[in-house]
Amino acid sequence: MAFLGSLCTHALLAWLILTNLNSCGQQGNFGVGEEFREVGLYVLEDRPSEEESEQTSEATPTERLPDLPENLNQTLDEMPNLVSSLPDFDATPLIGPGPAPTGVSREDPAAAFLNAAQPPPLSAAGIPSTTKFFDIATRGQSIVYLIDCSGSMSKHNAFRHAKAELVASLERLDPNHKFQVLFYNDQFYEFRDRRGEIDIHWATAANLTLARAYISQFDNSGGTIHFPALMKALSYKPDVLFFLTDGADPSLSPRELEDIKHKNRGKTAIHCIEFGLGPDLLRNNFLKTLSSQNDGTYQYRDMSKLGS
């Protein structure tokens, strides 16, 4: 009986073992079309937990911000002083064509030609620089010179000295001036520009060159008639009239002096230069009256002391 019990026990154990082996060998039902995947074991690296990560972040040192000054308003008040102490730098514009190179003009050639043909603008004060004639200084934009060229002006080379002083006065003009030169004896002669026009002309280099040639060709001759030449000179309505003559005689009549004063109406300053022989006798004459009635100056010159 013991033998039969032991045999049954071993048989049961053998059946259980076989049953378990068959169960491990089954592939199982993983669904249609699915493939079998290999399964392996992998060793995971040690990773810190979320709590450890947070603790690590808190423990990492960060850059410390500078402390604000205790008195912030005082520091802000000192900022202008700090800015003013900074060095100055040339601010070069980043946009635009920039300044024109030195000596290079960007003006259109056609525009430059037109500008050259136009009269120059007035100065800032509206009055050009001072000019003078025989040491009579004056200011004005338009100037007329009226010069006696009668035969009597040949004494002591008076006419030659008059022309030299006239050229010197013209050289003092700048392009903002306008001028006219009249010579007269028993008639008058007016300066013309290159187009032959008689007018009061701008003191351009071209006009001044023509005026010098016009002056140099003149010689003195004939008699002396003052009034028509004076009225013609005033017809240009200049700011200044320089009137030079050696002819205190014949003088202007009181009626002629009044007509000149009425025509002028104080618009033109008439400066009179008298060429005489010997010292000034300080006697009254029409030249002194003419200048005093028209806001001008009178000057006497001894022809014998003008030089050779």
The CA distances from residue 240 to 65, 94, 100, 140, 200, in Å, are: 80, 53, 41, 6, 12
pLDDT at 65: 53
Determine the straight-line distance between the first and last CA of the chain, rounded to whole angstroms: 184
Question: Given a cut of 90, is residue 295 above it in pLDDT?
Answer: yes
pLDDT at 10: 75
Average confidence score pLDDT of the chain: 76
Q: What is the pTM of this model?
A: 0.60
Q: Where are the alpha helices (DSSP H) in the chain?
A: 2-25, 50-59, 72-77, 79-84, 109-117, 158-171, 205-216, 226-234, 254-264, 286-293
Q: Is residue 232 in some structural domain?
A: yes
pLDDT at 196: 92
| pLDDT bracket for residue 273 (50, 70, 90) | very high
Q: Is residue 57 in some structural domain?
A: no
Q: Is residue 9 in some structural domain?
A: no
**Which residues form the domain of 242?**
141-249
Residues 187-211, buried b or exposed e (16+ Cβ, 10 A)? ebebbebeeeeeebbbbbeebbebb
Q: Is residue 38 in some structural domain?
A: no
pLDDT at 124: 38
CATH of the domain at 162: 3.40.50.410
Q: Is residue 264 in some structural domain?
A: no
Q: Is residue 215 in some structural domain?
A: yes
Question: Given a cut of 50, is residue 114 above it in pLDDT?
Answer: no
Q: Is residue 212 in some structural domain?
A: yes
